[in-house]
Chains A and B, each alone.
Chain A
Amino acid sequence: MTSSDVQQQVASRWTARHDVVVIGGGHNGLVCATLLAKSGRKVLLLEAASELGGGARTDEFAPGFRVSSVAHLLNRLHPDVVKELDLEKHGLKFAPAELVPSTSLSAKDGPLTLTGAYGAGLAGASVSEAAAWKDLRAQLIRYAGILKPFLSRRPPDLRGKMSMAETFALGQTALALKKLGKEDMRDFLRVILMNVADLLDEQLTDNRLKGLLAFDAVLGSHLGPRSPTSLLGLYYRLAGEIGGAPGAQLVPKGGMGSVVAAIAGAASKAGVVLRTEAPIVKIRVEDGRATGVVLENGGEIAATTVISAADPSTTFLDLVGPRELDTGFVRKISNIRNYGDAAKLHLALERPPEFAGVDAVGLKGRLVIAPSTDHVERAFNPSKYGEFSPEPVLEITLPSLADPSLAPDGACVLSAVVQYAPYRLREGWESGKPKFLNAIMGVLEKYSPGIGKTVRHTELLTPVDIEARYRMPGGHWHHGELQADQMLMSRPVFGAEGYATPIDGLYLCGAGSHPGGGVSGAPGLNAARRIIAMERQS
């Protein structure tokens, strides 16, 4: 149906009652909606934009050039999501052949490439370094494996109200720890909250490898490699998997939008009613219980259960409103740190760029410009004071090489995540943006001489742009810093950590909830499971 029909239908004070209304059509909202529909509930999903997908959309940024607008690599879509939504049936298939390598570029020593699933093989490094990496990789994946089960569970309940199954699951983790053996368990307990730089210095020597790992650890967070707890970022990354291979990654054909399309397909099939261009302005609350939502155009929709995939501060401070909430809770919500540091660069290039020493396979993968740990740390420093990195670090993909449909014939799309670009830039992004773009292009020129002359069109999304376009306050793709003090029972805040909230019948299912962001669908998955469990009890 066309959007105007939607407007009409909505405008005509829509009375049909729904069991569930889901706010936000990003991947987490869609996953949660689908699972609840499959459980027999009548589900309506409302998306503010004209298209589903949120930060996982594929957008056209220049005539004939399309790109995954925020997330551009698939590396953590949760296996349970793939299974329970039957995504393969809905067109999401990944052949092992599609897995792409990561290449760490260095102007000095040439490229180093992690092949297979997160460096099962290592090309371009010395024999001794390859051996050291083999050990470290095994250790990292082993430890990430201990944490992995937490991704698909609600955080441990400090009130002690846990089901047999949940308590048993925790016991399993304790057992897994024991299984490591005494010494390995001791090392695990030491490194868990360590900074990534120290661990790398203890075990590796190659700056290109260290730089890449340091970059992955701090990607999407306001931390430098020397900040304590930064290693958690790497564990989070390696707890993700593709087709059972931890740390594996691929550049989805058709962009991230194709993944969303598959999930949306599953949603429709399950009977979810999907409505776009239906922004809501209020969550109705009557005596402490959510009763429905109010649309921007005044339309109201009643529901017994309201689920928000929007970020926690929008949900509680804007849509619910402080009046309905305890002041302590409101304070906690307003203390959530959700200022993004990552910008997104999209270049429409006349022809594919070249990077010295990188072959065709490498170009189809992930190219990282983070030549050393210190380099990443130096890039981080200015962001602490509201300044962008004069020499930013980048994660580059060239999606049109594997999927020509994304660009006109012979042309090429370059998509890059760039750090650090603090949301609260002191001089303001108005004047800062062109300067930052210069800094980025300066780096690109260094690694791919002449690339600047082939640029037909440029789109740079700063956190401020991301905030406006994808309704992510602070422009943070995790809907809030993913640091130790904002994880598990502190995500988004204690009191709303188990997807249920202080408002009866209102739940969270977005990246702001445990386990956090990235295209995993895990928050949506856990929320749906939790809601089904709770409504069964009551």
Chain B
Amino acid sequence: MKTWDAIVIGGGHNGLVNACYLQRAGLDVLVVEKNDWVGGAAVSRSLTPGFLYSNCSYVCSLFRPEIMRDLELPRFGLQVIAYEGGAVFTRDGDYLANYRDHDAHRREFARFSKRDAEAYDRYARDVTRQCRFIQPLLMRTAPDPTSLKPRDVGELMYIAKKFYDLGPSQMAETLRFWTMSISEFLDEYFETDVIKANFSISGIIGTALGPMSPGTAYVLLHHYMGEVDGSVGAWGYARGGMGAITKALSESFQASGGAIRTGAEVDKVLVKDGRTTGIVLAGGEEIRGKLVISNADVKRTFLKLVEEKELPNVFLRRVKNFKIRGSSGKVNIALDSLPEFPALPKDAPSIRGDLHFTDSVERMERAYDDWKAGRWSADPFLDMMIPTTLDPTMTPPGKHFMSCFVQYCPPKVEGRDWTDADRDAFAETVISQIADYSPGFRDRILHMEVRTPRELEAEVGLTEGNIFQGELTFDQLLFNRPVQGYAQYRSPIGGLYICGSSTHPGGGVMGAPGRNAAAEILRDLSKPTRHMSPAHDVI
């Protein structure tokens, strides 16, 4: 029987990134994916004839440009189209537009408040400074503060030096920033509610926290660290939907000789004398491998695929304590024609960007209170996009695809499992909110896919349907992610690694976890990593 050098469980973007780097380093790599298609949560699915749905992740920005270059993704068809901005609709029929252009953005703020327009310069500067500090850490393995190994100590020194270079007062600012709530942080700059709501969005997307929860200022950073074609903080659509990213990755992988098996669900990871020897598929088929790398989240990997007896108790306890919380849902809609939003001026660029209806921090926080009580938000926060306004390749001419990310949506409804009736009621909550701002919206709907955490977990395999494979709170960042002592992509089992968003630096279609895991694996094999470029500096 053939023995692979490495078997990657799960064909999500991190699994594929990891596989690409290993294959290019000369390993013989196999990727096994349970679905009949690759992509995990970065897919373009045809759910109704003629329409492509980005039915999980829906925008692109965080994906590391270094990885795009290393793996030649543009050559394999990846093209990201940056969008201009978006808008927040206010209940009084007005709207606040967002622009990539700083000055245009400031002028828009001035419509609401001169003071806020001035504060925006200070805000942009301060946030960029925080990004600059954190971004290089994305592409480095987090050091273990309890270790005296030269490498860990060295990495700690590196971070300490970067921190020290900020200078005393910025050091203090950074320490404050990391533990602040996004709402408190914004209060220090802005006075207008809709402007604060607009910025606080990035502080909560994907997390089970409200804008008033300490630590959400950092989450904002996590969404700001991305870039499109070198413009930091910009967001864009992948031409052909988010599947274009994983399609390019799998083609790059196969072009360098890698093999992919879809429709192959893994039942368990084989372990012999504390070392992995391969995997067993659901059908019972055994596949041998010297290394096994799991793209699944840390709970799924160690509580479902590996037998308990193979793992130390302390490790198991920590895996069980790792917080993965479903907090969001998704409504994907095929539209007969472009919806109208009377509030927007004709041909406003905003329609081509992200649209929101939550015009106050309080509404956002109250939506979170519903989640805490085990209900989906009665007045949910929507992150709504119509990528077909910039990318006509996803639908027939004149038709459109709309992606609605919805927060908050609990993993269980008041403690019990989701029913189809719940799901429909949830969808109705979303549609009626949109219809309030877009007359005749319902009539444009051709087809609709509703995804609660239940569907996300069942199809994509994300525990509780959490899009980040684990909360982004301090107790689960850096050397604490996913668990203390195993935050460097290794596991207590020899030859078994994890490379998903459960690991540092966390979620989003970023690719960094997969890339960093590959670096550690190659280090263990003492193979060169010349083909992996380090993080570039932020300008």
List chain A positions with a Cβ less than 8 A from chain B: 158-159, 182-183, 185-187, 189-195, 198, 202, 223, 226-229, 331, 335, 337, 377, 381, 384-385, 483-486, 488-490, 494-495, 497
CB-based contact A381/B369 at 8 Å: yes
Contacts of B267 in A (CB 8 A): none
CB-based contact B179/A483 at 8 Å: yes
Segment touching A, from B102-110, B190-198, B209-217, B301-309: B209-217
Report Cα–Cα, A385/B215, bound state, in Å.
Answer: 19
Report Cα–Cα, A331/B145, bound state, in Å.
Answer: 35
Q: Which A residue's beta carbon lies closest to that of B171?
A: A158
Report Cα–Cα, A193/B476, bound state, in Å.
Answer: 10
19 contacts between A and B (CB under 8 A): A158-B171, A159-B168, A185-B146, A186-B146, A186-B484, A189-B479, A191-B475, A193-B475, A194-B474, A228-B215, A228-B474, A228-B475, A229-B474, A337-B184, A377-B372, A384-B365, A485-B175, A489-B172, A494-B169
CB-based contact B214/A189 at 8 Å: no
Report Cα–Cα, A331/B369, bound state, in Å.
Answer: 32
Report Cα–Cα, A159/B171, bound state, in Å.
Answer: 10
Contacts of A202 in B (CB 8 A): 321
Q: Which B residue's beta carbon lies closest to that of A178?
A: B146
Is B473 located at the chain interface by the 8 A CB criterion? yes
Contacts of A335 in B (CB 8 A): 187-188
Quick one: which of B168, B214, B484 contacts A484, CB cutoff 8 A?
A: B214
CB-based contact A229/B179 at 8 Å: yes
Most buried by A among B215, B474, B475: B475
Contacts of A182 in B (CB 8 A): 146, 485
Q: Check A158/B172 contact, CB under 8 A, given A182-B146, A228-B213.
A: yes
Q: Check A228/B484 contact, CB under 8 A, given A190-B475, A484-B214, A485-B214.
A: no
Q: Check A193/B179 contact, CB under 8 A, given A158-B172, A159-B168.
A: yes
CB-based contact B484/A187 at 8 Å: yes
Instruction: Please encode chain B, from 213 to 237, with 1 for each CB lying within 8 Å of some chain A CB and 0 for all others.
Output: 1110000000000000000000000
Instruction: Please encode chain B, from 455 to 487, with 1 for each CB lying within 8 Å of some chain A CB and 0 for all others.
Output: 000000000000000000111000110001100
Is B348 located at the chain interface by the 8 A CB criterion? no
Contacts of A223 in B (CB 8 A): 214
Instruction: Please encode chain B, from 161 to 202, with 1 for each CB lying within 8 Å of some chain A CB and 0 for all others.
Output: 000000011011101110110001001100000000000000
Nearest-neighbour CB distance to chain B for A337, whole angstroms, equals: 7
Q: Check A484/B179 contact, CB under 8 A, given A227-B213, A228-B474, A335-B188.
A: yes
Contacts of B13 in A (CB 8 A): none
List chain B positions with a Cβ less than 8 A from chain A: 145-146, 168-169, 171-173, 175-177, 179-180, 184, 187-188, 209, 212-215, 314, 321, 323, 362, 365-366, 369, 372, 473-475, 479-480, 484-485
Contacts of B169 in A (CB 8 A): 494-495
CB-based contact A485/B171 at 8 Å: no
CB-based contact A189/B172 at 8 Å: no
Nearest-neighbour CB distance to chain A for B169, whole angstroms, equals: 6
Contacts of B145 in A (CB 8 A): 185, 189
CB-based contact A490/B176 at 8 Å: yes
Q: Check A183/B314 contact, CB under 8 A, given A189-B480, A228-B214, A489-B175.
A: yes
Q: Which A residue's beta carbon lies closest to that of B211?
A: A384
CB-based contact A483/B214 at 8 Å: yes
Contacts of A486 in B (CB 8 A): 176
Contacts of B323 in A (CB 8 A): 198
Quick one: which of B168, B215, B314 contacts A229, CB cutoff 8 A?
A: B215
Nearest-neighbour CB distance to chain A for B369, whole angstroms, equals: 5
Report Cα–Cα, A24/B180, bound state, in Å.
Answer: 31
Contacts of A189 in B (CB 8 A): 145-146, 479-480, 484
Contacts of A186 in B (CB 8 A): 146, 484-485
Q: Which B residue's beta carbon lies closest to that of A334?
A: B188
Nearest-neighbour CB distance to chain A for B530, whole angstroms, equals: 34
Q: Check A494/B172 contact, CB under 8 A, given A189-B484, A385-B366.
A: yes
CB-based contact B362/A385 at 8 Å: yes
Most buried by A among B146, B175, B321, B480: B146
Nearest-neighbour CB distance to chain B for A373, whole angstroms, equals: 11
CB-based contact B480/A190 at 8 Å: yes
Contacts of B146 in A (CB 8 A): 182, 185-186, 189
Give the 7 A-B residue pairs with the shortest CB-CB distance, closest first: A494-B172, A186-B484, A484-B179, A193-B474, A228-B215, A158-B168, A485-B176
CB-based contact B484/A490 at 8 Å: no
Report Cα–Cα, A495/B168, bound state, in Å.
Answer: 10
Contacts of B369 in A (CB 8 A): 381
CB-based contact B209/A228 at 8 Å: yes
Contacts of B188 in A (CB 8 A): 331, 335
Report Cα–Cα, A393/B212, bound state, in Å.
Answer: 21
Q: Which B residue's beta carbon lies closest to that of A160?
A: B168
Q: Which A residue's beta carbon lies closest to that of B210?
A: A384
Report Cα–Cα, A159/B170, bound state, in Å.
Answer: 11
Report Cα–Cα, A278/B187, bound state, in Å.
Answer: 36
Contacts of A229 in B (CB 8 A): 179, 214-215, 474
Contacts of B176 in A (CB 8 A): 485-486, 490
Quick one: which of B173, B184, B215 contacts A494, CB cutoff 8 A?
A: B173
Contacts of A193 in B (CB 8 A): 179, 215, 473-475
Report Cα–Cα, A197/B212, bound state, in Å.
Answer: 17
Report Cα–Cα, A385/B176, bound state, in Å.
Answer: 23
Nearest-neighbour CB distance to chain A for B420, whole angstroms, equals: 28
Q: Which B residue's beta carbon lies closest to that of A495?
A: B169
Contacts of B171 in A (CB 8 A): 158
Report Cα–Cα, A373/B173, bound state, in Å.
Answer: 32
Q: Which A residue's beta carbon lies closest to that of B212?
A: A384
Report Cα–Cα, A403/B435, bound state, in Å.
Answer: 66
Report Cα–Cα, A186/B484, bound state, in Å.
Answer: 6
Most buried by B among A182, A198, A385, A485: A485
19 extra A-B contacts, CB within 8 A, seeds A189-B146, A229-B214:
A158-B171, A158-B172, A182-B146, A182-B485, A185-B145, A189-B480, A190-B484, A193-B215, A193-B475, A202-B321, A227-B214, A337-B184, A384-B362, A484-B214, A485-B175, A485-B177, A486-B176, A489-B172, A494-B169
Report Cα–Cα, A182/B473, bound state, in Å.
Answer: 22
Quick one: which of A194, A385, A483 contacts B473, CB cutoff 8 A?
A: A194
CB-based contact B372/A226 at 8 Å: yes
Nearest-neighbour CB distance to chain B for A372, whole angstroms, equals: 13
Report Cα–Cα, A392/B321, bound state, in Å.
Answer: 30
Q: Which B residue's beta carbon lies closest to that of A187?
A: B484
Nearest-neighbour CB distance to chain B for A399, whole angstroms, equals: 35
Report Cα–Cα, A485/B182, bound state, in Å.
Answer: 12
Quick one: which of B179, B479, B480 contacts A485, CB cutoff 8 A?
A: B179
Report Cα–Cα, A381/B210, bound state, in Å.
Answer: 11
Report Cα–Cα, A330/B188, bound state, in Å.
Answer: 12
Contacts of A494 in B (CB 8 A): 168-169, 172-173
Q: Which A residue's beta carbon lies closest to that of B362?
A: A385
Most buried by A among B173, B209, B212, B474: B474
Contacts of B209 in A (CB 8 A): 228
Report Cα–Cα, A485/B474, bound state, in Å.
Answer: 13
Report Cα–Cα, A483/B179, bound state, in Å.
Answer: 9
Contacts of A484 in B (CB 8 A): 179, 214
Contacts of B314 in A (CB 8 A): 183
Report Cα–Cα, A158/B146, bound state, in Å.
Answer: 23
Report Cα–Cα, A229/B215, bound state, in Å.
Answer: 8
Report Cα–Cα, A226/B369, bound state, in Å.
Answer: 11
Nearest-neighbour CB distance to chain A for B431, whole angstroms, equals: 27
Nearest-neighbour CB distance to chain B for A193, whole angstroms, equals: 4
Report Cα–Cα, A78/B335, bound state, in Å.
Answer: 68
Q: Which A residue's beta carbon lies closest to that of B163?
A: A158
Report Cα–Cα, A192/B479, bound state, in Å.
Answer: 13
Report Cα–Cα, A497/B173, bound state, in Å.
Answer: 13
Contacts of A159 in B (CB 8 A): 168
Q: Which B residue's beta carbon lies closest to that of A191?
A: B475
Nearest-neighbour CB distance to chain A for B214, whole angstroms, equals: 5
